[in-house]
Structure 1
Amino acid sequence: MLDIIRKNGIILAIFAAITTGLTAMIHEVTKPAIQAQKALTQQNLLDQVLPPTLYNNALQSSCYIVCDPALGDNKEHRLYIAKKDTQPVAVALETTAPDGYSGNIQIIVGANFNGLIYGVRVIEHHETPGLGDKIELRLSNWINDFFHQKVDKYCNGNFAVKKDGGDFDQFTGATITPRAVVNAVKRSTLYIQTLPGHISHLKKCNNKIEE
């Protein structure tokens, strides 16, 4: 009886070792393809907020880490600097709207250093389906209203939802969500305007696509 148990235990151990080895091998074989796909997805997102004709550097390699309350929290955020012939011309900045109806809304904003916005996209949110989720491009064209809007620190009364006296539409039955996004975009674009002169002091990303 003990011999049978011992034999079965050895068989199970061998099977587990083979399975683990195969899983590890498959992971290593597919890892480059997965990383390449993630890099492609990330570049596609960056292209939506910064026109590729605007810069000629490798944008994903020009990644920095910034931390400022203006970005919605005290966490680290990634910032990509677009350069034309080594000259910084614009930024794609990941930021947070902390006051969404259902919590934080993660956003990426593309703008130049004069406050001109090239694009905004929502990366992650938990807003109510059918109401607040209209901030997603696949559900509504609302997010494109930021295109070529300009944020000026002296005259920003119009950079708000219409209910607050601004130019941006709110959603029927949902004002909190678009208000949170508009305010986050405004704060982030103002922050981008403070960057010239400080870029050389920014912390570089590790350039590794998160698994």
Structure 2
Amino acid sequence: MSMSGAARNALRAGTVLVVFAVVGTAMLAFTHGRTEPVIARSRQAEQLAFIEQVLPSRLYDNDLLASERRVPRDAMLGTRRPSAVWVARRGDAFAGVVLEAVAPDGYSGDIGLLVGIDAAGTVTGVRVTGHRETPGLGDYIDRAKSPWIEQFTGKSLDNPPPRAWRVAKDGGTFDTRAGATITPRAVVKAVRGALEYFARHRKTLAAPVTREEKDA
């Protein structure tokens, strides 16, 4: 039985669509393969620059990005899923960590943080990695908007004393802006929590990574 003109046209159109789909998929795969390494390197550079803002590079000589470990979710870190920790070393000596933390009680939701802590348990820097706080009111926690976050540098669990780990409005050490205290309260609590986490897990964090852990 001969094929009708309509059927031939439908077959031809279907073949063209299949060819276009195959070619398009191949082009997307090729483009992804070429650009993915570039994007990955860019992300790594950006991540390292961010990390170096909270843990000065003079404190360590290892490859900090390669030192990344995953730790289980923990209430002291405010995390609801496994998070990252980067372990700094100078020679064979433990030099400090950079912890991912979350302030879950910000005015507009979660506030992501990176907290650098040296081997002695002193904060070397804090940066906000993500937030939805009100522009012009609560967003001064962002270092790009204000130096407010710098006041955590040099602080530890005992400096200031525990009762002073509060915003000034609550009788504590940390300054705030009028009309925007919920956000800084959340950040102060989260940084304190990160220090408590470090103190509790310092021995584990300072231990060298085993070959089994590296291969995991």
TM-score by length of 2: 0.89
Give 2:194's match in structure 1, choosing from 188, 199, 204. 188
Aligned to 1:156: 162
| Pairs aligned (count) | 207
**Secondary structure, counterpart of 2:112 in structure 1:** strand
Matched, 1:56 2:61: yes
Aligned to 2:3: none
Give 2:95's match in structure 1, choosing from 85, 89, 94. 89
Matched, 1:47 2:29: no
Corresponding letter in the other structure for 1:2: A
Post-superposition Cα deviations, 1:171-205, rounded to whole Å, max 9, x if no partner, equal 22110000100110011012112233223498958
Residues 10-89 of structure 1: pairs in structure 2 closer than 5 A = 10-67=15-72, 68-89=74-95
How far has the Cα of 1:129 moved from its partner?
1.3
Quick check: 1:55–1:84 contact (8 Å CA) kept in 2?
Answer: yes
Q: In structure 2, what is the Cα distance between the partners aligned to 1:152 and 1:45?
A: 27
Gaps of 5+ in 2: 1-5
Quick check: 1:101–1:127 contact (8 Å CA) kept in 2?
Answer: yes
C-alpha RMSD of matched pairs (Å): 2.2
Structure 1 runs, 4 residues or longer, greater than 6 Å off: none
Residues 92-111 of structure 1: pairs in structure 2 closer than 5 A = 92-111=98-117
Q: In structure 2, what is the Cα distance between the partners aligned to 1:131 and 1:10?
A: 59
Deviates more, 1:147-156 or 1:68-77: 147-156
Q: In structure 2, what is the Cα distance between the partners aligned to 1:205 and 1:133?
A: 38
How far has the Cα of 1:32 moved from its partner?
1.0
Q: In structure 1, what is the Cα distance between the partners aligned to 2:175 and 2:143?
A: 15
**Secondary structure, counterpart of 1:108 in structure 2:** strand
Higher relative contact order (CA 8 A, sep 6+): 1
Post-superposition Cα deviations, 1:2-43, rounded to whole Å, max 9, x if no partner, equal 111110111111011101100110000111111100110110
Aligned to 2:172: 166
Where is the helix percentage greater, Structure 1 or Structure 2? 2
**Secondary structure, counterpart of 1:195 in structure 2:** helix
Post-superposition Cα deviations, 1:117-141, rounded to whole Å, max 9, x if no partner, equal 1100001111111111111111111
What is the aligned-residue identity percentage? 37
Post-superposition Cα deviations, 1:128-183, rounded to whole Å, max 9, x if no partner, equal 11111111111111111112222229922222110111111112211000010011
Matched, 1:124 2:130: yes
